[in-house]
Structure formats: structure tokens, C-alpha cells
């Protein structure tokens, strides 16, 4: 379902392309749409727009997944 997206820097995170049913379950209205989960699967934040996943904003969001 998913593939590694963050290499060794964040091995618990995965990039996945969901089915339409999964997208509807999260209430996504369009793309890009990201649901960030912590290591236990709890939702941390939703990002409903494009984001630079290597930039400072994403780093701050991803730090909350630990």
C-alpha cells in the first residue's frame, strides 16, 4: 500500500496512495491532502494544500509525530 518516503530520517513514516474509500473516510475534498499520524496512529494534523516536506513548516509538524 505504501512505500518509504523519508528514508532513514523518519523510518516510521510512509507515503501512501489511498483508495477512494479511504480518502472519503478522512473527508478529503481534493488533492493534495495529507493526514499526519504519530507512531501510534493518532492524527497529529491535516494539511489541505501543497507543502514543502523538506522545509521548516513540515519539520515542525513532523516533530509532533514522535
| Residue 48 predicted with pLDDT over 50 | yes
* pLDDT for position 6: 53
| Residue 57 predicted with pLDDT over 90 | yes
Residue 55: domain span:
2-63
* pLDDT for position 59: 92
* pLDDT for position 56: 95
* pLDDT for position 63: 92
| Residue 2 predicted with pLDDT over 70 | no
Please give the tally of structural domains in the chain.
Answer: 1
C-alpha to C-alpha distance for 66 and 62, rounded to whole angstroms: 8
For the entire predicted model, the pTM comes to 0.61
Hey, what's the cell of 4?
518509504
Amino acid at each position: 500500500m505504501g512505500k518509504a518516503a523519508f528514508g532513514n530520517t523518519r523510518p516510521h513514516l510512509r507515503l501512501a496512495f489511498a483508495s477512494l474509500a479511504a480518502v472519503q473516510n478522512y473527508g478529503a475534498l481534493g488533492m493534495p491532502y495529507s493526514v499526519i499520524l504519530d507512531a501510534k496512529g493518532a492524527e497529529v494534523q491535516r494539511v489541505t494544500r501543497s507543502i514543502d516536506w523538506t522545509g521548516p513548516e513540515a519539520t515542525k509538524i513532523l516533530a509532533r509525530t514522535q
